[in-house]
Amino acid sequence: MDIIEKLINEFSKLPGVGRKNAIKYAYKIIAMEETEAKDFANTILEVKEKITFCTTCGNFTDVSPCALCVRVKNQKQICVIAEPKDIIFAKRIKDFEGGFHILHGTLSPLEGRGPNDIKIKELLVRVAEGSEVVIATNTDVEGEATAMYIAKILKPLGVKVTRLAQGISMGTDLEYADEVTLNHAFNQRKEI
Amino acid sequence: MDIIEKLINEFSKLPGVGRKNAIKYAYKIIAMEETEAKDFANTILEVKEKITFCTTCGNFTDVSPCALCVRVKNQKQICVIAEPKDIIFAKRIKDFEGGFHILHGTLSPLEGRGPNDIKIKELLVRVAEGSEVVIATNTDVEGEATAMYIAKILKPLGVKVTRLAQGISMGTDLEYADEVTLNHAFNQRKEI
């Protein structure tokens, strides 16, 4: 396989990228200045080399505890999200001063993911009586089931469990919520 | 700027990639196996290191003359295209046995690109009396103007100049033509 075809193939591995877009991206790389393309490649290498999990929240980070954990003002509040990329969307909640906790998945009986396959134990050690856990998993079936399960586990421990208010429409991924809706949903969060 | 944000920024530089897709791509890289991500980065570096222009046709290649020039069966036929990426689409023409010539642009008075800014001189030295030049530039205004200009220059030299038959609808980029239409257009090509 020639080298350009190889680069097209690499781009095809990205989510949602078909052959035509992969060709566009590959030729963009070829047309780039040498230093610009090198920066691109080196950033990929740097990310793979430096990124680990934050030992506190489970976020991808190059320092542990991560920048978000260091910045926490309210230790009693934890916002629970499913995937690392959701943090980019969840951190737009302006009134939230607590920390994050990334589950790295949701419960899914269909795909065989139970409580031990996601970071729920790690959440348990972070909460104390009087804590509030705001669950911001997606509003799909798996996200809802995960929220319910966590609520069931935490409530007996004297932890207040809340969920972002509906306002984010059912079935919508967190990343598609606009900022106003997202902030409104945070302020209207309800105990479950 | 943190390293993940830096990677998101790099992906945002690709044509048509907005922030949400850039986030998806960046997190895909983070989720990849170490070796897979390294292959990706190294392919980018390899492309930048090895790819030069074919001295014959102007194609991007890592060997000169390029694989397409080596494979030419009919030296008297040259298919002229505007951009290197078009070669991926043009080489699907099954009945064509000649070589390619990449102009690296089209004539555009509006953007100040004249005949000396694209590889027309390089085309002149490749043709001889009795050659056929098949012009496969896009069917937009610039592509048509470029075809007309080349025809005007080459015809007095005894070169037959043809154009892919209309069938590819006006204003459509070459890359969006399906294979049947493209091959039909080649077989119905007409002298201009």
Asked whether the beta carbons of residue B10 and residue A37 sit closer than 8 angstroms, the reply is no
Ordered alpha helix ranges (H), B13-62: 19-31, 34-50
B26/A45 Cβ within 8 A: no
pLDDT tens-place string over residues B115-151: 999 999 999 999 988 999 999 998 788 998 999 999 9
Q: Do A85 and B23 touch (CB under 8 A)?
A: yes
Stretch A102-129: mean pLDDT: 92
pLDDT in tens, B8-35: 999 999 999 999 999 999 999 999 999 9
Report the pLDDT value the prediction gives residue B163, as an integer from 0 to 100.
86
- Residue B109 DSSP SS3: coil
Which B residues 83-122 touch A at CB under 8 Å? 83-85, 88
Give the pLDDT score at B87: 87
Residue B45 contacts A, CB cutoff 8 Å? yes
Contact check, Cβ <8 Å, B44/A47: no
Q: Are strands B99-102 and B77-81 parallel, antiparallel or unpaired?
A: parallel
The average pLDDT across B163-179 equals 72
Average pLDDT over residues B157-165: 89
What residues of chain B lie within 8 A of the CB of A13, using their CB?
28, 32, 36, 40
- For chain B, how big is the Rg over CA atoms in Å? 20
Q: Which residues does B191 contact at the CB level (< 8 Å), separation at least 6? A: B160, B161, B162
Q: What is the pLDDT of residues B48-70, one digit of tens each?
A: 999 998 999 999 998 888 888 99
**In angstroms, rounded to a whole number, what is the distance separating the alpha carbons of residues B133 and A156?**
81
Nearest to A28 by CA among B44, B68, B159: B44
Closest Cα in chain B to A13: B28
pLDDT attached to residue B161: 94
Is-above-0.80 flag for pTM? Answer: no
Which residue, A99, A107, A53, is CA-closest to A79?
A99
Q: Which residues in chain A are closer than 8 Å to B26, comparing Cβ atoms?
A: 47
Residue B21: the pLDDT is 94
Q: Report pLDDT for A25.
A: 96
Chain B neighbors of A43, CB-CB under 8 A: 3, 6-7, 10
Q: Does residue B46 register a pLDDT over 80?
A: yes
pLDDT in the model for residue A166: 65
Task: Specify the pLDDT at position B176.
Answer: 74
B63 lies within 8 A of chain A by CB:
no
Query: Which of B29, B38, B1, B7 is CA-nearest to residue A43?
Result: B7
Set of chain A residues whose Cβ sits within 8 Å of the Cβ of B41: 41-42, 44-45, 48
Q: Is the pLDDT of residue B170 over 70?
A: no
